[in-house]
A = this chain, B = another copy of it.
């Protein structure tokens, strides 16, 4: 079927593809809004045609970054809410769903932060890895609760996002000690809680996060330090419910070593995986805006949110 996609959808898709729009929540919000735009703009004559257009728009958006977790979750949410037998009822329900999604999104990080903050105590030193706005939301909420916190910030090679984390924490007047990633185990003895984000969370309780998280989690367990993951529910990966594993992005080798320096060394392979996988037994809790969960139970929340299928609702027959 030769179904048209609204120009605004194409624009959003382009922005996602070119990473003008980036960050799990921002992508998700933009995708839901794009579907609402499509719904509003549609001049479909029949319910079937309307649905076909919506499917086409969703597929179009989905194809821009098929490995992102939040994007299909946004699409799924809107399709779950779209219901009706007439164009008008479909349109209205889709727009409503998109707005509901956005509204939940707006609240999610605050809610999550509040919950994560409750796990922290006044006077705690937290260790961070990479830069996660979800994890930082927990710190911010704890500060708002009047708790004093300090931070040990791992620089997080190869891209040193720890520097961004350090800067944010300094803006909140949190004392920061910056260390190289390899120093983590040594400093765990001075740390009360490890706090990380997630790129994706799997049904088997695994946390996919910035490379280095799994080693940090193993050391935290060995040192007796609790560790939590802060992750909005848009990070929950429905495909993992049916056993799919999360694809790990291999990033540019130049992030690891400067090409000129590399040339001096000689013919070497450089590998730069963006993420690794932390098994649930090394993580104490996953904090979401819908409550905290032991990693082994996150599948319960996933079943509430997604049902049992990991199919993509926009791919079904019209």
Hey, which chain B residues are within 8 Å of A318, CB to CB? none
Measured CA separation A264–B242 after assembly (Å)? 36
Task: Determine if A177 and B292 form an interchain contact, defined as CB atoms under 8 angstroms apart.
Answer: no
Interface size on A, residues (CB 8 A): 85
Task: Determine if B182 and A243 form an interchain contact, defined as CB atoms under 8 angstroms apart.
Answer: no
Task: Determine if B265 and A170 form an interchain contact, defined as CB atoms under 8 angstroms apart.
Answer: yes
Task: Determine if A243 and B119 form an interchain contact, defined as CB atoms under 8 angstroms apart.
Answer: yes
Q: Which of A38-46, A49-57, A86-94, A277-285 contacts B (4 or more CB under 8 A)?
A: A277-285
Q: Which of A15-23, A100-108, A208-216 contacts B (4 or more CB under 8 A)?
A: A208-216
Shortest beta-carbon distance from A84 to chain B in Å: 28
Hey, which chain B residues are within 8 Å of A211, CB to CB? 180, 182-183, 186
Measured CA separation A291–B171 after assembly (Å)? 45
Of all chain B residues, the one with the shortest Cβ separation from A166 is: B265
Interface check A85, CB cutoff 8 A: no
Of all chain B residues, the one with the shortest Cβ separation from A220 is: B224
Hey, which chain B residues are within 8 Å of A4, CB to CB? none
Task: Determine if B215 and A184 form an interchain contact, defined as CB atoms under 8 angstroms apart.
Answer: yes
Task: Determine if B256 and A178 form an interchain contact, defined as CB atoms under 8 angstroms apart.
Answer: yes
Hey, which chain B residues are within 8 Å of A316, CB to CB? none
Measured CA separation A114–B310 after assembly (Å)? 12
Interface check A241, CB cutoff 8 A: yes
> Out of B121, B267, B294, which one reaches A170, CB within 8 Å?
B267
Interface check A67, CB cutoff 8 A: no
Given known A175-B269, A292-B243, A294-B299, contact A284–B204 (CB-CB < 8 A): yes
Hey, which chain B residues are within 8 Å of A187, CB to CB? 271
Task: Determine if A271 and B167 form an interchain contact, defined as CB atoms under 8 angstroms apart.
Answer: no
Shortest beta-carbon distance from A310 to chain B in Å: 8
Task: Determine if A292 and B204 form an interchain contact, defined as CB atoms under 8 angstroms apart.
Answer: yes
Task: Determine if B115 and A242 form an interchain contact, defined as CB atoms under 8 angstroms apart.
Answer: yes
Interface check A158, CB cutoff 8 A: yes
Measured CA separation A31–B118 after assembly (Å)? 27
Shortest beta-carbon distance from A225 to chain B in Å: 8
Task: Determine if A276 and B242 form an interchain contact, defined as CB atoms under 8 angstroms apart.
Answer: no
Binding site for B on A (CB under 8 A): 114-119, 121, 153, 155-158, 163, 166-167, 170-171, 175-189, 203-205, 210-212, 214-215, 218-219, 222-225, 240-245, 256-257, 261, 264-273, 276-277, 279-281, 284-285, 287, 290-297, 299-300, 303, 308
Mind listing 24 A-B residue pairs with CB under 8 Å?
A: A115-B243, A118-B245, A119-B245, A166-B268, A170-B267, A171-B266, A176-B269, A177-B269, A178-B271, A179-B256, A179-B272, A181-B212, A182-B211, A182-B212, A183-B211, A184-B215, A186-B273, A188-B224, A189-B224, A215-B219, A224-B225, A241-B291, A291-B308, A294-B296
